[in-house]
Amino acid sequence: MLRLGEKYGHLARRAGCGCCNPDLHKASRRLAAFSRRGLLGGAAAATVAGLLPRSAGAQTSAPPSRILFREARLFDSVSGQVKERAQLLVENNRIASVDFSNAPPPGDATVIACRNGVLLPGLIDAHWHAIFAAVPLNILLNGDPGIIFAASTAEANRTLLRGFTTIRDLGGPVFSFKQAIDSGVIPGPRIFPSGALITTSGGHGDLRLPSEIPRDGGRLSKGELIGGAAIVDSLGDLKMRVREQLLQGASQIKLMGGGGVSSPRSPLDILTFSEDELRTAVAVAQDWNTYVTVHAYTSRAIQRSLAAGVTSIEHAHLMDEGTARMIAEKGAWLSTQPFLSMEDADSQSGPGVERAQQIFVGTPKIYKFARSLGIKTAWGSDVLFSPALTQRQNIMLTHLSNWYTNAEALQMATSGNAALLQLSGPRNPYPAPIGVLAEGALADILVVNGNPLDDFKLLEDPHRNFTVIMKDGRLHKNLL
C-alpha cells in the first residue's frame, strides 16, 4: 500500500496538480475524513469548498477581467473552417467578442499574442470516467479512499492539460469530485455526471466479490457503497436508484443494457434490463427533464433500448446494418469509441482480451453505418482502470481520421459533443454554450501551435503543441 501511495503521489507531482501545497493536502485529508460512504462524500466536498479560496494551490490566481487573444487563426466548430486574422476577447469566464478586423486591443486587456496559432474550443470527451480512468480495479474496490482521490485528482489535472475542458462522466462516484473541481479546490474538466452505473445482477458493472454473492438482504457491495454501481432487479429498486442519481445531481442516467468487456463475468452477448424496465427508467428521467443513455454492444440490446425510448446508445460495436438504420430512423444518438487494437485496451486480461478483439473488428463497421445513414454520432474514449491508457485519450480522438476529415473529427469533439450534452436540459450543470468560440460561450479555449486541419496528429502531443489552455476564463497553461 505504501508503494502504491508513493506511485500516485509521484504521478500527482508530475501532473502539477498542487499536491505539494499544504492547503491542498489539508483538503484531501478533510475529504477523506468527512466522507460518510468511504469515497468523497457530498458533505466533504462542500465543506472543503467553503474552507479553501478558489485559487488555493490547484488553481491559478484570479484571472484578469479581460484577456485578448490576438494574431490568431480561429477554428469555427460550426462551419468546420479555420478563419484568418482573428482576435477573441474574454471577459471573466465568457467570450465577449470575436472579430476579424484587427482592431486595436482594449487598453485594459491582457494581450496574448498567438503567433498565428489556431484557436480551438476546449475539447469534449462524451464518454469518460473521472474516477475509474486512472485507478486500477482492485484498488478501486479495496483501496484506501485517500489513494483513490489522489490518483483521480492527478488524472483530472492531466485530462485538462490534454485539452479536454469538458467530459461526460458515464459511471462513477463523481458527484463530490465534480463539486471540488467546480469550486476550485482541484483543477479538472467540467463534468456532466451520471453517477452510479445502474445494472442488474450479473450485468456489466456488477463487480461484486465472490464473498458478496449471494446478496445478504439489502446489504450493499463495496462497489455500491462507494457509489460506483447500483445493482437492481425490480422496478421499484430501479426507479429508486435512478431518482437517487438525479437527486445527487446527475445530468443524465446511465443504464447497462448488456454485457461488457471489462466485467469478467458478464459476457458480451447477454441482455440485462427488460424493455419494460428500460421504459420505466426512461420515464423517470423524463420526469426530471433529462435522458437515458444505455451501454449496449449487440443488436438485440440496442433494439430493445430504442423500443423503450432511450435517447443515446453507447458503443454498439456489434450491431448489424438493420439496427443502425433503426438508430437513424429513431433520431437517437450513437456515442461510440474508435477502438482499433489492444493498444487502446491494454488494461484488459483474461476474457476481456477476447471480447476486445470482437470490438476491434466491429469498429470500422459502425463508423461506416454512421456515415452512410447520417446517424448523430458523438466521440468518446471510454478509458477504464489504467493510468497508462489515459495518456492515449488524444490518440483515440485522432483515430477518427480513419473515417472523417480532420475538420469533421474536430467538430465531433467540440460542437457535436456539445449538442449531445445539451439534451440534459435543465439538468445541465453548465447551461451556457460550450464547444464553440462565439460571443456568450464559456471561455474554454486552446491555442494550437499549427493547424490541426492540415495535421491532425498535432492533437496527439498536447504537451508540445497546445501553447495555451484556458477553462472558464482561467489560464491553466500559457507558453506564450
Q: What pLDDT, on the 0 to 100 scale, is given for residue 106?
A: 86
Residues 6 or more apart whose Cβ sits within 8 Å of residue 279: 308, 309
Domain ranges of the chain: 66-121+434-471, 124-427
Residues 6 or more apart whose Cβ sits within 8 Å of residue 6: none
Q: What pLDDT, on the 0 to 100 scale, is given for residue 8?
A: 33
Q: What is the CA radius of gyration of the chain?
A: 22
**Cell output for 36:** 460518510
Backbone angles phi, psi at 118, to 5 degrees: -100, 125
d(CA 273, CA 205): 13
Q: Name the E strands within 196-354.
A: 197-199, 229-231, 253-256, 292-298, 312-318, 333-336
**Fold adopted by 124-427:** TIM Barrel (3.20.20)
Q: Please, which residues bridge with residue 333 across strands?
A: 312, 376
How many CA within 13 A on the CB side of residue 37? 21
d(CA 443, CA 333): 27
d(CA 281, CA 239): 6
Q: What pLDDT, on the 0 to 100 scale, is given for residue 263?
A: 74
Q: Please, which residues bridge with residue 356 across strands?
A: none
Q: What pLDDT, on the 0 to 100 scale, is given for residue 37?
A: 43
258 secondary structure, DSSP code? B
User: Which one, of 367, 390, 391, lies nearest residue 377 by Cα?
Assistant: 367
> pLDDT digit of tens for each residue in the chain (480 aa)?
333 333 333 333 333 333 344 444 444 444 444 343 444 444 444 444 444 444 333 344 455 589 999 999 999 999 999 999 999 999 999 999 999 988 888 888 999 999 999 999 999 999 999 998 988 877 877 767 788 888 999 999 999 999 999 999 999 999 999 999 999 999 999 999 999 999 999 999 888 878 888 888 888 988 888 888 999 999 999 999 999 999 999 999 999 999 988 777 888 999 999 999 999 999 999 999 999 999 999 999 999 999 999 999 999 999 999 999 999 999 999 999 999 977 776 665 667 678 888 899 999 999 999 999 999 999 999 988 888 889 999 999 999 999 999 999 999 999 999 999 999 999 999 999 999 999 999 999 999 999 999 999 999 999 999 999 999 999 999 999
d(CA 288, CA 245): 11
pTM score > 0.85 for this model? yes
Q: What pLDDT, on the 0 to 100 scale, is given for residue 348?
A: 58
d(CA 81, CA 408): 10
Look-up: residue for cell 446489504? 219
List the 123-128 sheet strands across, edge first: 123-128, 164-169, 190-193
Q: What pLDDT, on the 0 to 100 scale, is given for residue 59?
A: 41
The total of other beta-carbon atoms located within 10 Å of residue 217's CB is 5
**How long is the chain?**
480
Residue 479 burial class via C-beta count within 10 angstroms: exposed 0-12, middle 13-18, buried 19 and up: exposed
User: Which one, of 42, 127, 125, 59, lies nearest residue 93 by Cα?
Assistant: 59
- Domain 66-121+434-471 class, CATH top level: mainly beta
Q: What pLDDT, on the 0 to 100 scale, is given for residue 38?
A: 41
Q: From its phi and psi, is residue 331 left (phi > 0), alpha (psi between -120 and 50) or beta?
A: left
